[in-house]
Every structure is written in structure tokens, then in C-alpha cells.
Structure 1
Amino acid sequence: MFLRIRSSDVGRKTFWWYTGKLYGDRYGEPMRPLFQMQGASQTLATRISDSEVAYTLKEAGYYCDLETGEVIDGEVNNVFTDEAITPQHYLSSQDLIFSDQMAVRPQRDLPSNISFDGRIIRPDIKGDRIWMSEYLFVTVGSRSGGNPRISNSMANFEASLEDVSKPEGFVPATMQYTTFNSYRTWMNMGDTKGHVMMRLNALKLERWDQIPEPLRSRIEADHVGEFGDA
């Protein structure tokens, strides 16, 4: 069930289009919105045994103006420090293994300073609606004795139980995605204590050309050959 909601039939690419906001805080203060977000991801699942599936994800995302939603190319003001910073848009990837024991683990061994806890939450079914979740909790210890960096992602997927129960074919789905992480390095927050949190809504798509313009064209220009149906 999780594989069909999260990705698609084994060996078939699936795409997600997302939008949302990045929030931030300093300890003792409430969260505040910092940027709008937009991006897209591409996934592929490959069965490696009766009980395990190798899963790859590639994602490109952009920090956008909070009011206009336009992609930021250049400096903006850091509302916490009142200094100019330059948001660093991203191309990131995941190479994971999903097991029928509801565990998620990296495909490769991680350095000793990285702690990884991945899990799949069993289905929550109400009527014809099914929800399943994926949690990834990561801590990267500092080799120089500084504070560790945390990276927590919590994805909640929703689909039709009727669609998921079919033996094959595309399963329409939506995703609500939340992160709770250390500050981005480009925010230049120094020793200030606090976090950033991403809140995104995503739609699952069958084809790359369903990603709307101009996001699709921007990704293709920035990351030539990285995304597409082929």
C-alpha cells in the first residue's frame, strides 16, 4: 500500500509538485513565515527482494518571495539578524530501502557521526480514504565539537483505498509534508538557537510535463537532464 501511494508500480517514474512556506524561530519566540516554497520531485522504486524495495528520489526546490511567490535570485533581508543573505536553491536526492517490516534505511552505510531513524506508519483507513506516513529523523554530529544538526521530515500521504487496492496502475494521491530542522547554513545565524520548519502540500502526477510552467522550465534550465519521463 505504501509503495503504491508514495511512488508507483515498480520501475515506473512518478512525480510530485509541491508548494508551501518555510517558517523559522528563535528559542523563546513563535514561528514566523520566512519564504514561500515551490518545487518538484521524481521518484522510482525497484524491487530488490521479496521483502525490500530500493527507492530513489530526486528533488529541486526554490525559495520564493513571501508576498509575490516569485523565485528569489539574489539577496534578501534576514528578518532575525537584519543582514543580507542569499537563499540557496537546492537539488537533493534520497536513496532509501523500504522493507515490509515498515522500516526505512539508507541504501549506503552512513558516516559514524550520522544517526538515522526511518519508519513507515501503518495505514489509517476511514471509509474509502487511506493515510500512510513516512518519518525520517536524522542527526549529524559536529566533528569539531559544535552543536549537532538535525533534519526531521514527516510526510503524510492520502489516497483512495479503492485505487490503492488495485494490483497495478497509477494511484492519485496528495501529500502534506513537514520538516523540523536546524537553520540553513546560508541564513548565517551563528550561535543563535532555533529552527526552521517547512510546511508543504503536494500533488502526485503521472508525467513530468504535468509540472506547471514556469517551474518546469526553471528546473530544466538549472538541472539539465536530471528530470523527465524517459
Structure 2
Amino acid sequence: MLNRRTFIAAGAALGATAPALAAAAGSATTAGQLNSADPNEVLNALVKLRASLDGRIAFWWMKGPRYGVVGTTVTPLFNNYVVSWHRFVRQPDGNYKSSIVELSYYVDLATGQPIEKWRNPITGQMNDLEHIAFGPVTSTRTPHGVAPPDKTPGVEMRLKSTLGVLAQHNDDIWVQEDVSATMTPTTPGRAPYSGNDMATYQGSVRQLLDPSLLGVDAVMHYQSVTAWRSWMKMGDIKGTLMARAMGQKVWSVDDVPSDIMALARRMHPAMIADPVATLEMTPPERSFHR
């Protein structure tokens, strides 16, 4: 068992008032359906799906392949294993401050073992892979999407985001959050990076409409289309990196799959040993680091 603080207590210390939380938790009631035309109700639903209205930390794990796309040819490259943790704190204006830490690892498609040296099937060249620790990064979630993070050390960021209900059927709801970003490193010699992330969070309408539940069960369907990573050394080859993955929300690192946790403990032991302290630490000089 990990030595970590009580997440509910951490959330209570954030100062969110009970009346505001109750209003957010119980605002969406339209004949058993979430009012998808009300951006504030959609935002509150997103927060309940991704974490909790009261500032409690939620964990997410994710698995799925990455592909190289050149023209219409799609080439499987490797699998991506991710563990992340999130906290949302309601602000007086109804927006939410969100904080996130993400640990991301590339593993062999067949064995699931972490890759340090990788032969790029498109170029035929050997590459060193980067296993990424991202954050902590804080940004503002609004009814119209995510605003640029307060700080993105080491990069200048341009961001476009949308938020909405993709579909509702019976007790199922799918909330989409799409983000397009261009990040230009402030370090000379590093190329800009651009990408498009499309996350769809699936949960229960009944749970979302229950004012006694501040956070609900959820799974995620994830797709992305991004520029080549610099370490792939693609040269003049025109194409994109594409991801397809699924994930699940859990309330403890003990419920994250053991193979992902083994990677996190091996490669970023200090960060995963105390997730709350990691989320609250002073942001590093760079948002991304190995």
C-alpha cells in the first residue's frame, strides 16, 4: 500500500462551499436527461466524470496503440501505457481550476515490455524513446472548453478547445472534450509540436443527476492526431502520429493495472509514491520531462 494522504480531506481543504457543490451536483434534471444545451451543466458533468466536484483526486489509466500514418498507409508502432491523476476545484465564477500529472510510457506491441531502443518501421532507423512525465500543470476549465494553462514552463502554447455532449441513450452519456494545441519550445533548436486530442468520457446519466454523488464512474475513449515526435527522427517524411486508446477512472493507485504501476514505480518512483504531493509541488522548469 502506498503512503498517501486522504483525498477527501485534501479536497475539503480547498475551500469549496457545500451550497455551490450541491447546486453543481444537482443542477441537471430534464426528464432524466442531462440538459446538453446548457454549457454549465455540461461542464459540471465533465468534472464529475473526470474527477469530483469537491476537489477529490481521481486517477486514470489508459492503454492503446500508436500508429504512424503516411498517406493512407497506417503502421502500428508501439503501445502507450499511461497513468494520470486529476483534481478540479470550483471557482467563484463557476469555472474550475484543474491540475494534472501524467506519466506516459511506450511499450512493445507484442510483449508489453518498456522500449528504450526502438527500430522505426517507417524509416528503418534505431531511435531512443522518451518516457514522459507531464506536469503538474494547472489550467481553467470553462463551459466552453479548457483555457490555456496558467504556466507551461519551457514552451509557448496556443490552444483551441471544445466541450459538449456527443450522445445520450437510456442511462449512457458520452461527453466529448477536444483540444488542439501548438507548443513552441523556448529552448533553441527544438521544433514546435502540434496535436489534436479527442477524449470522450462515458458514464451514467443517473449517476450524473444524483446530487449525492460528487464524482461518478467513467471510462474514456481517446483518439489523437499529432505531429511526429522529434525523437522519431522522421526527417522530411510527411505524415502524422495517430493514437487510439481506452481508459478508466479509479479512486486509488491500487486500482491502476499492475503493469502500468510497475513502470511508474521503476521510472518515476518519487512522483508516484505520493501523488498528492506531486500534484501540489512547484511546477518544473519544463512541463514535459523524461
- TM-score scaled by structure 2? 0.71
- Higher helix residue share: 2
Match of 1:159 among 203, 212, 218: 203
Letter in 1 for 2:133: L
Name the counterpart of 1:18: 62
State the Cα deviation string for residues 169-202 of structure 1 (Å, max 9, x = none): 4411100111110001110111221110111100
Give the greater-gyration-radius structure (CA).
Answer: 2
The count of corresponding residues between Structure 1 and Structure 2 is: 227
State the Cα deviation string for residues 31-62 of structure 1 (Å, max 9, x = none): 11100121211001112223210011111111
CA contact (8 A) 2:69 2:241 kept: yes
Name the counterpart of 1:116: 159
Letter in 2 for 1:57: I
Q: Is the aligned partner of 1:80 residue 2:122? A: yes
CA contact (8 A) 1:63 1:71 kept: yes
CA contact (8 A) 1:177 1:200 kept: yes
CA contact (8 A) 2:155 2:185 kept: no
CA-atom RMSD, angstroms? 2.5
The separation in 1 between residues aligned to 2:197 and 2:232, in whole angstroms, is 20
- Secondary structure of 1:225's counterpart equals helix
% identical aligned pairs: 26
State the Cα deviation string for residues 77-121 of structure 1 (Å, max 9, x = none): 111111111211111134221113x22112326799632101211
CA contact (8 A) 2:62 2:83 kept: yes
Name the counterpart of 2:257: 212
Match of 2:98 among 39, 52, 55: 55
Match of 2:232 among 184, 187, 206: 187
Match of 1:69 among 104, 109, 112: 112
CA spacing shift, 1:63–1:47, aligned 2, 3 Å: same
- Name structure 2 gaps, 5 residues minimum: 1-44, 277-290
CA spacing shift, 1:85–1:46, aligned 2, 3 Å: same
- TM-score scaled by structure 1? 0.89
CA contact (8 A) 2:165 2:173 kept: no
CA contact (8 A) 1:207 1:229 kept: no
- Higher strand residue share: 1
CA contact (8 A) 1:119 1:135 kept: yes
Letter in 2 for 1:19: K
